Amino acid sequence: VQLVESGGGSVQAGGSLRLSCVASSDMYRKNCMGWYRQAPGKEREGVAAIDSNGNMRYGQSVKGRATIVRDNDYSVTLLMKDLRPEDTATYYCATDLFKCGSVVVGTKSWRELEAWGHGTQVTVS
């Protein structure tokens, strides 16, 4: 099963973006799904996550600027506004049975998540 991200690209500071993640099957329908990012030379960090009941978690650096939406059992969308140069990173979609939100708030390592997409680059200038 694959996770495929789309929607990255170059954005001006102050602009917005929409990232989409689609799983190739609905086998993750009971899983949480989330977005994580990694800037060059930095550790991967959690951006936002949503579980199968619609409970959401947001990283401190994006609170108030990000919204995560569970479109259906196998896809999730990240909306971000008021983008800043420090939002520049490769954004990854990931899924797990229950640890997505814990990674976002920093109580679990991103390495513990079950499956990952290949990432999509976002550059803010």
CA dist., res. 118 & res. 78, Å (int): 16
Tell how far CA 77 is from the center of its chain: 8
Percent of the chain clearing pLDDT 90 (strictly above):
90
Look at residues 26, 29, 7, 25 and name the one whose alpha carbon lies nearest to residue 17: 7
Q: What is the pLDDT of residue 25?
A: 78
pLDDT, one tens digit per residue, over 68-125 is: 999 988 899 999 999 999 999 999 999 999 999 999 999 999 999 999 999 999 999 9
Order the strands of the 75-80 sheet from edge to edge. 3-6, 17-23, 75-80, 66-72
Q: Are 2 and 74 in contact (CB under 8 A)?
A: no
